[in-house]
Chains A and B, each alone.
Chain A
Amino acid sequence: MKFYLEVWRQKGPESGGKLEHYEANNIPAEASFLEMLDIVNEDLTAKGIEPIQFDSDCREGICGNCSLTINGVPHGPGRGTTCQLYMRKFRDGQIITIEPFRADSFPVERDLVVNREAYDRIMQAGGFISERAGSAPDANSVPIPKVVADVAMDAAACIGCGACAAACPNGSAMLFVSAKVTHLGLLPQGKPENDRRVLSMVRQMDKEGFGNCSNYYACEAVCPAGIPASFIAGMNRAYSFASIKESVGIPL
């Protein structure tokens, strides 16, 4: 297959960037999007042009490291990670525009590589369980209703890739934060710190400069882990209740 690529090239965090035009020739239909870029990069290197920088790690859809906005959609067409997107999804001869994830809190480091440490700092603010819970308990020794376990599992599917904030016209990270708050908050090990967690994580999210949710639901549409935006509703409620408790002096 053949593609006409418009790729964002940018030398460093401070420099301006622009779209450059490249041709991707002889691409097998079963190549993944990242493999297509690998082929293009080999071509560029042979021609003495700097290869296109982009992030990837596991290339099997579990680490959340790959991060490209393809034709305006983070992770491109179809709901999955960029590494799990195959070129057969595109038309032969199609023009494909590739840009970095865009959000003020995800500064571009180079070309298509963005710095997503803001998500790590939100996790450090409360995305954990402080109590040493030991090794995994025996099955069924801590009874958890199936429905609760299912929701916690759905929330735990978040791989923290950043597509939600990148898709949001407001650059809001609420889908990510709500997934973490929901996942940790539903299980007995995480419950005792629910109020502190939601206050701490939301405050860090605001401090990082992420935007506010306008209930556009673009996040939900691109999320490769299928996190539903209703988790944001739950987080809103939890945050306001924790704030009320905090302000009347109920210990958190």
Chain B
Amino acid sequence: MISAPSKTRRGPHPILLWLLSSIGKKTIVALTGICLVLFVTGHLLGNFTIYLGPDWLNAYALHLQSLGPILWVIRLGLLAVVGAHILFTMLLWKENQAARPKKYIASDPIQTTVFARTMRLSGLCVLAFIVFHLAHFTLQIVDPSFKHLETTLDGHQVHDVYRMVVLGFSNLPVSLIYIGGLFLLTLHLSHGIGSLFQTLGFTNRTTRPLIELATKAYAWLLFLGYISIPVSVLTGLVK
């Protein structure tokens, strides 16, 4: 008989065994990946309020601010998700390096795509971009004058997020950083989303090519959606 798993033996709890196994770690990366993809999608939909005019974006921003403690729960949750995503990808990477210490002298990429091979690089660049983005629009330390932009909304004094975004993206180098960061995110996702379906076991021989195609389309749609905002500001469509 195939020897019974841990139940009769002393050892780590099965959940811990799963978490530390190859497949468990991959699954954590995929599950945190889903959360991040959903966040990125929701964030874009929220950002689109900019096209409805200053009052819409400012009201949306005010609404988020007024969530109070819930906002902090979401923020800490996202931080934990990003942290787990990075921690587990790095654990996987370390083991993968050890499993294949000697490279071939005559190396051949064999089927692997650049997107897949550069996940770590694109991911870490995205991390740097996220830090910049938070410093720029959330903490407002890149240009502290953003803190003092005010406007009236329904008779109340509120932070003028709309003006901040327009001023922020009017700066060409800053817009280029955003476009570059989003480009790297797109590369990350054009392998990542399809990959997570495979990791979680939702693919088969017929669906994988379709999922991969849909993944690329989705990643590039996100890209176009996001960069449309700095591009609109730079071209004067949004002012």
Contact = CB atoms under 8 A, between A and B. Distances in A.
Q: Does B bind A? A: yes
Interface of A: 6, 8, 19, 69, 71-73, 97, 99, 102-105, 125-126, 128, 130, 167-172, 174, 193, 196-197, 199-200, 202-203, 205-206, 209-218, 220-222, 228-230, 232-240, 243, 246-247, 249, 252
Contact of B102 (A102, A200, A217, A229): A102
A72 B110 contact: yes
Given A170-B96, A213-B26, A217-B111, A193 B21 contact: no
A163 to B, nearest CB: 10
B116 A214 contact: yes
B66 interface: no
A1 B1 CA distance: 54
Contacts of A206: 21-22
B96 A71 contact: no
A133 to B, nearest CB: 14
Interface of B: 1-7, 13-15, 17-18, 21-27, 92, 95-96, 98-113, 116-117, 119, 191, 194-195, 197-205, 208
Contacts of B103: 102
Contacts of B200: 233, 236-237
Given A216-B117, A221-B110, A243-B24, A252 B100 contact: no
B204 A213 contact: no
Contact of A215 (B1, B95, B199): B199
Contact of A104 (B2, B22, B101): B101
B76 to A, nearest CB: 27
Which of B2, B6, B112 lies at the interface centre, i.e. has the most chain A CB atoms within 10 A of its CB?
Answer: B2
A2 B1 CA distance: 54
Nearest to B111: A221
A105 B99 CA distance: 7
Contacts of A230: 198, 203-205, 208
Contacts of A235: 23, 201
Contacts of A236: 23, 26-27, 198-201
28 contacts: A71-B108, A99-B106, A104-B98, A104-B100, A125-B2, A167-B110, A169-B112, A172-B22, A193-B2, A197-B2, A202-B21, A205-B22, A212-B99, A213-B199, A218-B109, A221-B110, A228-B205, A230-B203, A233-B200, A233-B201, A235-B23, A236-B26, A237-B200, A239-B18, A246-B7, A247-B13, A247-B15, A247-B18
